[in-house]
Structure 1
Amino acid sequence: MFGDADAAIARIEEDVRRAQRRAERYPAFQAAVDGVRARAVSRRRDVAVEVDAGGIVRVLEVTDAAAERGGRYVTQEVMALIGAASRDARAKTLAITAEILGEDDPIVKVVAADLEAQETGSHAWRTGGRA
C-alpha cells in the first residue's frame, strides 16, 4: 500500500523537477523563438517575404518589375512565399525548442505536430482534434 504512495510521490517530485528545469530554460527559449525569422524569395527575385516563428509576415518586398506583371502574379507569389517561409520558420522553431527544452519536452511534440499538420494540410486544431 505504501509502495503506491511512494511511487506517486516520486512521480510528483520528478514532475516538479521537470517544471523547474523548464522554468529555468524558458527565458532563453522565448528569446530564441522571438528571434526566429525565415525568408523566401521568388525565382525572379522580384518578391520576397520574411515571417516570424508564428508565420506572421514581418517584411514584404515587391519590386516595380513584379508590380508590372500584375496583381495576380504578385498575389500568387506572395501567398506561395508566405507558405514556404512559414514552413521554414516552424522547422527552425522546432529545432530551437528541442535544443533548449529537450527532445522529451511536451512542447516539442506540440510544435512537431503543428509542423506536420502544416506540411500535410491537416490542421487538427481547426477541427476540434479531427484532421
Structure 2
Amino acid sequence: MFDDADAAIARVEADIRLAQERAERLPSLVSAAAAIRGTATSRRRDLAVEVDQSGGLVDLRITDAALDLGSARLSSELLALIAEAKADAQRQILAAATELLGEDDPAVATLRAATAAAAEPADGSEHAQ
C-alpha cells in the first residue's frame, strides 16, 4: 500500500516540478510572441502586409502599380494577403511555443490544432493567389 502512495506522491511531485518549469518559461513565450510579425507579399511585389501576433494589421504597402488592379481585385488580393500574414504569425507562435514549452506541452497541442484549422480553407478549396 505504501508503494502505491509513494508512487502517487512521486507523480504529484513530478507534475509540480513540470508546472513550475513551465511557469518559468511562460514570460519568455509572452515576450517572443509580442515580437512576432507575420508578413505576406503579392507575387508582383506591389502589395505587402504585416500583422502582429494577434493578427492585427500593423503595416500595409500598396504601390502605384497595384492601384491599376481595380478596386475589386485589389480588395480581394489584400484580404488574401492579410489571411496569409495571419497564418505566418500563427506558425511563428507555434514554433516559439514548441521551442520554449516543448513538443508535448498541452498549450503547444492546442496551438498546433488551431494553426492547422486556420490553414484549412473555409469552403474546403485551396486558395490560389
* TM-score normalised by the chain length of structure 2: 0.84
Query: 2: CA distance between counterparts of 1:4 and 1:72?
Result: 68
Instruction: Give the corresponding residue for 1:8.
Output: 8
In the comparison of the two structures, how many residue pairs are matched?
Answer: 122
1:20-99 equivalences under 5 Å are 20-99=20-99
Query: 2: CA distance between counterparts of 1:102 and 1:52?
Result: 23
**RMSD (Å), alpha carbons:** 1.7
* TM-score normalised by the chain length of structure 1: 0.83
State, as a whole percentage, how many aligned pairs show the same letter: 48
Instruction: Give the corresponding residue for 1:127.
Output: none
Query: 2: CA distance between counterparts of 1:120 and 1:6?
Result: 47
Query: 2: CA distance between counterparts of 1:32 and 1:83?
Result: 21
Structure number with the bigger relative contact order (C-alpha 8 A, sep ≥ 6) is 2
Unaligned runs of 5+ in 1: 123-131
Query: 1: CA distance between counterparts of 2:4 and 2:116?
Result: 38
CA deviations over 1:69-100 (Å, ceiling 9, x no partner): 22212211111111211222111111111111
1:121 shift after superposition: 4.1
Query: 2: CA distance between counterparts of 1:3 and 1:119?
Result: 48
1:3 shift after superposition: 3.2
Query: 1: CA distance between counterparts of 2:52 and 2:15?
Result: 32
